[in-house]
Structure 1
Amino acid sequence: MLQFDEATARFLDNAYLGADVSRRRRASFDAVAPAPGDTILDLGCGNGLLTLELARAVGPSGQVTGLDPSADMLASARTRCSGRDNVDLVEGTAEDLPFPPSQFDKAVSLQVFEYFHDMRPALRELNRVLRPGGRLVIGDMHWDTLAWHSDHPERMARMLRLWDGHLAERCVPAVLPDRLRECGFAVDRVEPVVFCDTVLRADGLAAMMIRLIAAYASRNGDLPPAEAKAWASEQENLAEQGRFFMSITHFVWIAHKA
């Protein structure tokens, strides 16, 4: 489990609002295509950034419900969405949604399914709470698409193997279509969102990942903190030399309740 000190939390708030993560969030927003009056479920709403954006789009005649298992994340979402009468924030789990059948027109989940060992219980619940024909949007990274340059490839491989420990499924976009069909959805299309950094931008995805991976590897692996620090320092040095390269692809799947 990732644990954040105050400095890291501030860093992440900045990164979540940066161009890369905002572009990823916008890809899900556009796929949902929120319209005035829509009722939308934001599954795994976290700190409520997407929830708030959807609430603006559906207007006062619509309703957006954010669900998350973390009370701390929901507290942040409540602060962010304060004063929005068309937002409900609920603590709960994807496998047991506290909503009646056919409550929502649309549902969206952004980088949540990689934490499910079995996606089917959550997908069946989403199918239950969506109206017939209701749209489902799921966005997740395909971690096999990660390409990251290092002059020490063995250390890089070791760091990324440790990072895999925080995932239940590292290839969600590849396995998701079959799971969707199995759980009563018809797949409409997939939209890739490619991130490719040759500059280590302060608010970029690569900078955020370096911070998170180093912290996770130090706390959860058989890795001396000095080695994680050396890995992060190498990336900063490569950037100073104009030799930095990191690329990964995020995929947005769009489906509907059959």
Structure 2
Amino acid sequence: MLQFDAATTRLLEDAYQGSDVVRRRMASLEALAPRPGDTVVDIGSGPGLLTLELARAVGPLGRAIGVEPSAEMRAASTGRCAERDNAEIVDGTAEALPLAATSVDGAVALQVFEYLPDIPAALREIARVLRPGARLVVGDTHWDTLVWFSGDRQRMSKMMTAWDGHLVEKRVPEILPALCRDAGFIVDAVRPLVFSDTVLKPDGLAAMMMHLMRRYAVDNGQLTQAAANAWFEEQHALSRDGRFFFTVVYFVTLARKV
């Protein structure tokens, strides 16, 4: 799993405000459709950008709670939400939410479930804190949809295999609907969101992934620093030459507690 230390947190602070990740975040916010006065929880809230959006959406009579296990991320999100009296950042995980039973009107988890060691346990815990009829929105990438061009197919294959190692479950959108039903949810929709680029955008999803993938592959001994750097530099060269291609599909699953 990726370790969100101070350096990684700074990288994500910039990337999470780029066009692709904003699009991803807004798709989850739209699916949750929070109402004024709601209490909503952002599970795995990271740098707090979605928590802040939720606090705006529920208004002063509502409450937005960001649950995040990383101390560095909690520090970043606490600062971001400091001027919102209705926003709170707390320590916790999807499997152990620091919330009372049936106390929440909506829950959202963006790019979190792929890291969970026990998705059924997390769904049961989320069901515990949600009120009857409350919405759950889960947004995750199906990593088998990732297609990424490289002139060195063997090196790209090694990089993508290395990246798979940071995941607990790479097929979350595929298996989630059945798991939600088993946990007592009604699944209302599974919405695909396609990202496809022929240019390496500085604020795009591919650029963010390149930084994270290079670091992860080297730190975990999957590629040498030289090989990872060569892969990284090749992608920039491909973009300059008009040969860059990247696509992946993100899915937003919308469910309701029975």
Instruction: Please indicate, yes or no, whether the TM-score normalized by the shorter chain is above 0.5.
Output: yes
Aligned residue pairs, count:
258
Describe the shift of the 1:93–1:12 C-alpha distance in structure 2 as closer, same or farther (beyond 3 A).
closer
The alpha carbon displacement at 1:4 in A equals 6.7
| Corresponding residue of 2:186 | 186
Distance in 2 (alpha carbons) for counterparts of 1:47 and 1:110: 12
Q: Does 1:32 align with 2:56?
A: no
List aligned pairs for 1:91-240, cutoff 5 A: 91-240=91-240
% of aligned pairs identical?
57
Per the normalisation by structure 1, the TM-score is 0.97
Describe the shift of the 1:250–1:222 C-alpha distance in structure 2 as closer, same or farther (beyond 3 A).
closer
Distance in 1 (alpha carbons) for counterparts of 2:221 and 2:114: 20
Which letter maps to 1:197?
Answer: D
The alpha carbon displacement at 1:70 in A equals 1.1
| Corresponding residue of 1:66 | 66
Distance in 2 (alpha carbons) for counterparts of 1:5 and 1:69: 12
Distance in 2 (alpha carbons) for counterparts of 1:222 and 1:39: 43
Which letter maps to 1:14?
Answer: D
Q: Does 1:52 align with 2:76?
A: no
Cα deviations across residues 50-80 of structure 1 (Å, max 9, x unaligned)?
0000100110011111101111111111100
Cα deviations across residues 158-186 of structure 1 (Å, max 9, x unaligned)?
10000111000001000001110111111
* Partner SS for 1:97: coil
Decide whether the 8 Å contact of 2:42 with 2:66 is kept in 1: yes
Q: Does 1:77 align with 2:74?
A: no
Which letter maps to 1:252?
Answer: V
Q: Which runs of 5+ in 1 are unaligned?
A: none
Which letter maps to 1:233?
Answer: E
* Partner SS for 2:169: coil
* Partner SS for 2:249: strand
| Corresponding residue of 2:17 | 17
Describe the shift of the 1:9–1:72 C-alpha distance in structure 2 as closer, same or farther (beyond 3 A).
closer
Computed over aligned residues only, the root mean square deviation of the Cα atoms, in angstroms, reads 1.4
Decide whether the 8 Å contact of 2:158 with 2:223 is kept in 1: no
Distance in 1 (alpha carbons) for counterparts of 2:15 and 2:129: 32
Which letter maps to 1:115?
Answer: Y
Which letter maps to 1:45?
Answer: S
Which letter maps to 2:189?
Answer: R
Distance in 1 (alpha carbons) for counterparts of 2:256 and 2:237: 46
The alpha carbon displacement at 1:132 in A equals 0.4
Describe the shift of the 1:2–1:78 C-alpha distance in structure 2 as closer, same or farther (beyond 3 A).
same
Which letter maps to 1:241?
Answer: D
Describe the shift of the 1:249–1:125 C-alpha distance in structure 2 as closer, same or farther (beyond 3 A).
same
The alpha carbon displacement at 1:8 in A equals 5.6
| Corresponding residue of 1:43 | 43
Describe the shift of the 1:217–1:179 C-alpha distance in structure 2 as closer, same or farther (beyond 3 A).
same
The alpha carbon displacement at 1:3 in A equals 5.0
* Partner SS for 1:166: coil
Which letter maps to 1:111?
Answer: Q
Per the normalisation by structure 2, the TM-score is 0.97
Describe the shift of the 1:9–1:116 C-alpha distance in structure 2 as closer, same or farther (beyond 3 A).
closer
Cα deviations across residues 205-235 of structure 1 (Å, max 9, x unaligned)?
1111111111111111232110000111111
| Corresponding residue of 1:2 | 2
